[in-house]
Amino acid sequence: MKDALDPENGKFILRVNSLVKHYPLRGGILSRKIGYVKAVQDVSLDIREGETLGLVGESGCGKSTLARTMILLEKPTSGNILFEGKDIASLSSKELFQVRRKIQMIFQDPYSSLNPRMTIGEIIRDPLIVHKTGSRKEQEEKVASLLIRVGLSPDMMDRYPHEFSGGQRQRIGIARALALDPQILIADEPVSSLDVSVQSQALNLLTELQKDMELTYLFISHDLSVVEYISDRIAVMYLGRIVEMGDTKEIFENPAHPYTRALMEAVPVPDPKRGGRKIILKGEPPSAIHPPSGCAFHPRCPFVIPECRKQLPLLEPFSPRNTSSHLVACIRK
């Protein structure tokens, strides 16, 4: 499976190899382990320098867990995470502390991601204090410049989060993530809780920042249109596994996995003349505790054949002609 990733196509900055995250499920009076929630199962992907990798999937498929495990907010069950050639999962806490400043995260909920008891200035300055960057005055100047950078005014520094709108709060979250001059930003559904009009502003801000500061993004969303807009490449996730990955254009033109196609056809298009859908997803997403045998998508797949129930499809190049950029995990591709 490692071979399916192409090391030559651009320099990768972060690479994830067979990452697994299982949460033990405890029950009974002795709270023994009675099973596992298989949140992330054997995920491999690479993020190239300067690109935006979009990660899509329905809620509960393990997108956020993958992101949190990638920056070691959760301990991976197995697998490794290579950042600048080093496996950060096996670093000492001191070395990890130094890596943390290079990979920062933007959170989904702009309401709970800012501490209500701290002023905006304190919130953005806190990473600088933790990493002991510069004097107090330098830190305050940095905070002011960050606020300007994300389109807010420096005199908002002494105000509290509840005085801001959702969009402004998300900008504050972005400013905090930028405080340590990171190389990679992991954006976990950064716009999904914002109004559509505010969403586009936030997305434009993110693309602008990427251009100016040479950032690399891992952009997580369940909204395909948002991902299409911002991403260079897309990875589609289903029940803890990546089922399709490739360049945005390629994926949108030739979606190979039935799940990807179902997702795309579910995107509302403002055109009343557009014909009916081809694939409509039936049923609930399956349980991550007892995932279906073989291909996890088979209970909902319209093209299911008996083989699908037995064989776990590997992430392989879509067509022989196009060896590198478009990978799919489906035996009927």
Partner 1 sequence: MFIHLFKLNPITQKRLRRFKKIKRGYYSLIILTLLTVISLFCNFIANKRAIIVKYDGRYYFPTFKFYDMATFSQTDEWGFDDTEADYRSMKKQFKGTNNFVLMPLVPFDPYENDFDYYREPPPNPPDRRHWFGTDSQGRDVFARLLYGFRVSIMFALIFVFISQIAGTIIGSLQGYLAGKFDIYTQRVIEIWSTLPFLYIVIIMATFFKSGFLMLLFIMTLFWWMGITYYMRTEMYREKTRQYVLAARSYGASHFRIVFKHLLPNCLTPLITFAPFAVVGAIGALTGLDYLGYGLPAPTPSWGELIDQALQIQNRDKIWLTIAPFGAISITLILVTLVGESIREAFDPKQYARYK
Which residues are near partner 1 by CB under 8 A? 68, 71, 73, 96-97, 100-101, 104-105, 107-109, 112-118, 123, 126-127, 130-131, 160, 162-163, 173, 176, 179-180
Cβ–Cβ < 8 Å for 245, 45 = yes
Smallest separation (angstroms) from partner 1 to the CB of 163: 8
Smallest separation (angstroms) from partner 1 to the CB of 168: 16
Q: Taking the CB of residue 265, how many other CB atoms lie within 10 A of it?
A: 16
Is 121 or 313 the residue whose CB approaches partner 1 more closely?
A: 121
Is 215 or 296 the residue whose CB approaches partner 1 more closely?
A: 215
Smallest separation (angstroms) from partner 1 to the CB of 176: 7
Cβ–Cβ < 8 Å for 169, 114 = yes
Smallest separation (angstroms) from partner 1 to the CB of 194: 15
Distance of CA 4 to the CA centre of its chain: 21
Is 82 or 118 the residue whose CB approaches partner 1 more closely?
A: 118
Is 72 or 82 the residue whose CB approaches partner 1 more closely?
A: 72
Is 57 or 190 the residue whose CB approaches partner 1 more closely?
A: 190
Structure tokens at 63: 């997108």
Smallest separation (angstroms) from partner 1 to the CB of 195: 20
329 bridge partner residues: none
Residue 146 phi, psi (nearest 5): -65, -40
Residue 84's region, left for phi above 0, alpha for psi from -120 to 50, else beta, is: left
d(CA 72, CA 152): 31
Q: Any idea which residue has 């037995």 for tokens?
A: 310
